[in-house]
Each structure stands twice: as C-alpha cells, then as structure tokens.
Structure 1
Amino acid sequence: MLETMRLLLLGLSLSAVSLTADAKDFSLVEHGVTANSDDVQTAAIQAVIDKAAEQGGGRVVVPRGVFRSGALWLRAGVDLHLAEGAVLRGSGDISDFPTCQTRIEGKVQPWRPALVNAKSLNSVRVTGPGVLDGAGKPYWAAFWKRRAENPKCTNLEVERPRLMYFDGCDGVDVRDVTLKDSGFWNLHVYRCKGVVLEGVTITAPHGDPPKITGDAQPWDEVSIDRAPSSDGIDVDSCQDVVIRRCTISVGDDCIALKGTKGPLAMEDASSPPVENVVVEDCDFQSGHGVLTCGSEATIVRNVVVRDCRVGPAIPLVRLKLRPDTPQLYENLVFERITLDGAQAIFDVKPWTQFFDLQGAEPPKSVVRDVVVRGLRGTVRSLGELRGNEGDEIKNVTLEDIEVEARGSRLRVGDVEGLVFKDVVVNGVPYEAEGAEHE
C-alpha cells in the first residue's frame, strides 16, 4: 500500500504542475466589479467567470480588497486566484445561495450551494494567498436559535452555505488559500478523482455554544464563538486525494472521509468508495478528529496520515461505527505523528446519532489492517477500540510509540489480532489485555 501511496503522490504532484501554464488574467475590477462595496456582486463576478470561459479560459483574479458574493460557479478552463489581500466574502442572506441539487450528508438532494462551486470540470484550480470568508455568524445564530428551540434538531433543519464544493471533477487543485468562518462545512469534494489540497488554512471559532435561550435578547446580537458543523475538509466518495501542508482549526472534524449511510448503503452507486488518500505534514490545531470516518461512510480504504502535528483535545483515529450501516474501513496507516495534549489515540466506537435501521436487521461493519506507529508526545488517554455487537475489528498494530498519557488505559472490545510492538506509556512498556506483545 505504501508504494501505491508514493506513486499517487508523484502522479498528483506532476499533474498539478501541468496546471500552472500561462493563461490570460481576468481581474474583477478591470471587468466592472467594485472593490470594498457593501453590495453583493454575485452577478457581476459570475459574468467575469463566464467571460473567461467564453474566451477560451484563463485565470479570474480577485485583487486586493473585499468582494461580497453569493453562490459562484466555476467554468471549464477557468481558474480562480485570490491575490494577496483579497477577500471573497459570502453573503449573509441565504437567498443569495439559490437551492439546487447538491450532495449533503450522504445524499444528493435540494439544498444550498457553496460560495465557490464546480461541477463536472477537468483540472479545476483555486489558489491563494487570499481569503474565502464565509461571514457565517448569521447562519450560526440561526442554527443555535433552532437548537435552543429543539435540542434534537438536525443539521439540515437550518440551511447554511459551505465555502467550497467540487462535484464530479477530475483534477482538483486548491493551494495556499485561507478559508474562514464558513456557515457550514468548509471544503467539500464529492465524486472527484485526483485531488490536491496543499497549503490551505482553515479556521472556524470553536468555543462554547451560546447558552442563551428564549427571548432574552435578539439572536443577531448574541456573541457566538462556535461555528456549528464546521468540518475542515470533507472527502466524499473520492479517489486519489493528497492533503498536504494544511492547517486546520475548527469546531468539528478536521478531515472527514464520507460516503452514505443506511442498511442499503453498499448498494448506493452514487457513493463509490473513498480510496487512496494521503494526509501529510499538516497541523491540526482544534477539531473533533484528525481523520474521522463514519457519520456517513461506507467503504474507506488505503489511507495514510503521516508527519503531522496534533493539538489539544483532538483524537487521532476516529472511526464511527453506525449500527444502521454496513461499513468497511481497511488499510489505514498513521505514522510519525507528534501529539500535543491530543484527546486520544483511538476513538473507535459505536455512533448512534440519528440512526435508522428502516426495519432491517443490524448490519455488520468491519475495521481491519490498521497500523499506528511512530507516535511521540502527550495525550489525555489511549482511548477506545470497540464496535457494535457483531462488528469485526481485526489486525490492529501499535508500534514504536512513546507517549505520556493522563489516562493510560485503552478500552478494548472484541478485537482480533491486536499487536503491540515497542509501546511505552508514561515511561513503562504498555501491556493491553488480550493483545500480543512483541
């Protein structure tokens, strides 16, 4: 598998170089768009993108300044470049994101598009060093208001735009851009092949949710320091993905590998497996998981996470095992990771939020061939490694690990082939019940 990953990295790096050929620039301000205006200029910005496509392609440049917009759609042969000092800011009015068929939470359904969208394009490219700003506070306030009314509300009850969404594209290259304050997920790729996300910085506030309830004060005046469902990168039903040199600080999953859910998930042709993913040299500063599988996921295989730094309260390996979905997670490698107060090495356990068996018998999920090696640093606990009744977890290896842990117990369920090699916790060789020690 590692040789496959090496070839993947080489191939995607070379393909990305081919996208840098000289192309004509179309500056927004030179084509009728006003910088630093309070107006939402969606139509004017879209017109520049469309003009570039009509003239054979090129690079649409967002120059220094602030430009407000609703949903934009990239076209064939058109790259988007945010220059130094450029801010493309999302509108706070949801009507500027007209409902369309889009992929959300494991289904293609009517919902709101992102600020920047691309569908069925080849070699689509978005570059920085400028900023995509979701200006998400109005959407966060709407969500928390609804949550106060109904603590069991789902994500889909309050429509909120993402920052970037790529659907069915072959060759996605996003580099050196900053994404901040998205109304919902940040960067979502669905059914794409050959994806390079490099040098991307993603931030969203991740403090406590507002505690206000009722009519104590208008919600648009509430101080909100947490963006709900602020996933950093969602890799949904994609193959051949490289995520490199990215910095992520959000209030939900840093990287989520997604598919679909439900008892018939394996039969869903719209959700092919997530395969061949490399995550390397990234800084994870805040989030619910370095790499999370399972809110919606069916088959995830051939994943390497390496040479990364993990900050406080973030679990490293987070696998959600849904009791209503047959899931297969296999060939996962986590290596050479530095932990700085991370939540846990493993967060592998049943995930029962909003599950629905639809009258079917509980399916079986499988986790196999997981390797965690070369860990150093500090961690709150070793975590949990267990599934639902009937799930199969096998061939899990921990190797060359030296960590300080506040809680040194690994909670292990029914795991076949759990192997420890040179694992030292709090200065002492670690021995787990039921594990092989070498």
Structure 2
Amino acid sequence: MLSRRGFTLASLALWPGGKALAATSQQKSASIRDFGARPDGATFATSAMQAGIDHLARQGGGTLTIPPGTYLSGALFMKPGVHLHLERGSVLKCTTDMVHFPRQRTRIEGHVEEHFTPALINADRCDGLRITGEGVLDGSGMAIWERFWALRKQAADPGNFPNVGIDRARLALIQHSRDVLIEGITFKDSQFWNLHLYACRKVEVRHARFLVPDDYAWAPSSDGIDVDSCQDVLIENCFFSVTDDCIAAKGTKGLHALEDTASPPVERLHIRNCEFRRGHQAFSCGSEATVVRDVLIEDCVVSGAINLLMLKLRPDTPQLYENIALRNIRLASDGGRILLIRPWTQYTNLQGNAPPHSTVRNITLSGLTGSFGAWGEVRPDPQVTVTGVRLDSIDLRLHRPDKLPVAGAQVEMHHVVVNGVAVS
C-alpha cells in the first residue's frame, strides 16, 4: 500500500475520510443540571454526572449535555451508547483531591498498572462514542505538576523518578472502542497525558485544542494525544501548545514487546492541517512505541521551536518504524530540529541481556518550507538498521545550517535547498 518513498493515494483507500464517523442518531438527551450538578466550580458534580450517564445508558443511550458554567468532578465512567456534549462556556474541571480518582487497573506507559489513577473521562468498549462541543476539559494541573517536581527533586535518582510515582489524572482515556469522534473540545492543564487512545479503531479527533500555560516552563508528561496500539486514526485541524510530545505513537516495551498481544501495532495514522506551537516533538514514536507503520502527516504548521519528527529507539525493545511520511509542512520558528532518529535510554532495562535488533525504514520528508533552527541528527545504535530515509523537495532557511549528522544509517537528499544553497 505504500511506496518506498512514502504515502501514495492508494494507501488511504481504506480510510473513510470522515464519512464513516458521521453523527449517529441520538434518541435522548439530558442536561447534567437535571441530575443536580451545580455550575459554581466548587460543588462536586461527579455523582450528578455519573447518574446522568447511568440513566441514559438504562434508556438505551443518548447525549449528556454540560451547559455553561464550571463543574468540579472526579473520575467519570462512560457507558456504551452514551455521548457527551460540552456547550460553549462550559468547563468540566478536575479536582486535585485524588481521593475522587480511586486507584484501579488501567493502561499506562505501555503496560497495565494494577493500581493507578483513572482519567477524568473513562470510556471502555464504547463503540460510536462522541465527545463534542466547544467546552473545556480543565485538569487543574498546576498543583499536581508542582507536587510532581517536588517529589522528583527529593528522589534518590531524580532522572529516573517514575511518571506513575504520583497520583495524577489524564483528561480522557478511551479504550477498546471503534468509531469514535472527539470534536471541538479544549483540553487544558492536564495533570498527565491529555487524550489517551488505547486499542481503538476508527477514531477522529477534529478541531481540538491541547494547552499548557505559556508561562509554565514544563508541565510533566503533558502529551497532547497518545495513540496507543490503535489503527485508522485521523487527527485534523487541531492546535497543540504543550510541554511534551504533541502527538505520540505508543505501544509497549521490553525484550518481549513483540509478543504482547495486548499491544498491537499503531497503523494508518493520518495527521493533517494541524498547528504545533509548543512541545517537545510535533510527532514522536514515543518512549513505549513498538511497531508503528503507515503514518502520514501533511499540510501542517510548526510555529514553535520544537522537534518536527523524533523516532525514539529504546535499547531494551525490538522496534519497527516503517512507512512514515511528512509532506507539505510549513516551518515558522528560529529554533527546533527537523529530524531525530537516535537512542532513548531513560528507564531502559536490559536485565543483563544484549540489546535486541530494531528496524527503521522508509521515512520520507518532502515539501518542507519556511524557517527553522537546525536539521537534528540520525545516529542509531549499532543494533538498529536505518534505511530508506529520504529528504526531498525541501527549501528552508536554517538558523544553524550545518549538515545533517548521519552515522550508521542510509539517508538520501534530493532537491534540498538550505539558505539558498543546494545540499546533496
């Protein structure tokens, strides 16, 4: 379905282009006010909202509406057939009292954690789920971020302080679900990842915003969207200003990662018409990525000093990254790096074994224009084979125009111009 040089139109033949995710008929709707929720930002609305979800589920499904106002809540659990609509001016706000997020079995960082914090919105096996509107999911993250940094500073090995070493909630975890639509929502100040999609198929995320305050240096693990073991995902017309990966493909980790049937490959991921203003990477094969293939990123803008594409290579995990294409990307920053393919060693644990073999192949960047910081680097470990990296039809101004450092990899450049000078 893919040529050696990236995506072809045929590669998207199975993608419905949005038509398969047209809005479903919804027999009933109800407001959270009908169940006693108060919009004062201080009175807990958790019980009222869960009562509304449960009521609609008993009635065969429908849409629970959040009207304007601020509603304080702990963990909520969606039911099949029930949708959520946040009206303009509505804010569903996380509490920072984690007793309202009782620990449970949950997927996080490439494995199942037996006792960890659920998300604000949790949906499991909710085919056809819609979360729509112009409202805000507010994670109240500041207090949790400060608590995280304080605990990390006190740790014996701060650099390896675990991300799950503190109770903190994602804004949404959607898992084992098909035909999902997230549209119009603002994800703001999440305590942990913003939107975590796990083991889903046919998901669209449209016109969503993922935000961390501009004046906060680093909200830990504030990923915008984590695409974990999912297939057929479309992300379009979204805006990202976070302090970790804007979009990350994830799977599992460890020497036996390829045997983990609970972590199938990330396949057929399409990202288009998005803006990336702040973050570590616009797109990353993340720290728990295993098999990622058939990714197309097109017609996007990178307006901040972030990395455009990073492929993290774990020495303790056999990984396969293939058929990843970026095309028609406008860069508009004095900083940032274009391409990073290199080892990622934080939390690595080989358990005394030799590193497994990994493969990166058929990575294409074409049609890049504008201004940016530097190239980056392609320097894999010896046990990683990197072939078919192609840079094509690129015309850029780089503030650090040194050549792309390459070691132990196959990289081709065609029709590349940097600061008015052709590069071969």
Shorter-normalised TM-score: what interval? over 0.9
1:160 equivalent to 2:168? Answer yes
1:386 equivalent to 2:407? Answer no
> Pick from 272, 279, 302: which aligns with 1:310?
302
> Pick from 151, 176, 190: which aligns with 1:146?
151
Q: RMSD in angstroms over aligned alpha carbons?
A: 1.3
Amino acid aligned to 1:75: K
Q: Which residue of 1 is the match for residue 31 of structure 2? A: 27
TM-score of the superposed pair, with normalisation by structure 1: 0.92
State how far apart, in whole Å, the 2-side matches of 1:360 and 1:181 are: 40
Shift of 1:390: 2.1
State how far apart, in whole Å, the 2-side matches of 1:167 and 1:4 are: 28
State how far apart, in whole Å, the 2-side matches of 1:7 and 1:61 are: 35
Q: Which residue of 1 is the match for residue 131 of structure 2? A: 126
1:76 equivalent to 2:80? Answer yes
Maintained 8 Å contact 1:132/1:180: yes
Matches within 5 A, 1:199-210: 199-205=207-213, 207=215, 209=217
State how far apart, in whole Å, the 1-side matches of 2:151 and 2:37 are: 36
Deviations 1:209-266 (A, max 9, x none): 5xxxxxxxxxxxxxxxx31110000000000000000001000000010001111111
Matches within 5 A, 1:36-435: 36-109=40-113, 110-150=115-155, 151-152=158-159, 153-205=161-213, 207=215, 209=217, 226-341=218-333, 342-408=335-401, 409-416=403-410, 418-431=411-424
Amino acid aligned to 2:408: D
Shift of 1:413: 1.1
Maintained 8 Å contact 1:205/1:251: no
Shift of 1:294: 3.2
Maintained 8 Å contact 1:206/1:227: no
State how far apart, in whole Å, the 2-side matches of 1:58 and 1:34 are: 21
Deviations 1:393-423 (A, max 9, x none): 001111110001122221101113x221110
Deviations 1:15-37 (A, max 9, x none): 211x3424321111123222215
Deviations 1:335-369 (A, max 9, x none): 00000125111011111111000122111111100
Maintained 8 Å contact 1:350/1:388: yes
TM-score of the superposed pair, with normalisation by structure 2: 0.95
Deviations 1:153-210 (A, max 9, x none): 121111210000011111111000101000010000000000100100110136565x
State how far apart, in whole Å, the 2-side matches of 1:22 and 1:269 are: 34
Maintained 8 Å contact 1:386/1:393: no
Seen in structure 2, the aligned counterparts of structure 1 residues 149 and 363 have a Cα distance that, compared at 3 Å, is same
Q: Which runs of 5+ in 1 are unaligned?
A: 210-225, 432-438
Q: Secondary structure at the match of 2:405?
A: strand
Question: Moved runs in structure 1, 4+ residues, more than 4 A?
Answer: 206-209
Amino acid aligned to 1:146: L
Maintained 8 Å contact 1:12/1:195: no
Amino acid aligned to 1:234: D
Q: Secondary structure at the match of 1:146?
A: helix
Give the number of aligned pairs. 412
Maintained 8 Å contact 1:33/1:45: yes
State how far apart, in whole Å, the 2-side matches of 1:205 and 1:340 are: 21
Amino acid aligned to 2:303: G
Q: Secondary structure at the match of 1:243?
A: strand
State how far apart, in whole Å, the 1-side matches of 2:174 and 2:14 are: 20
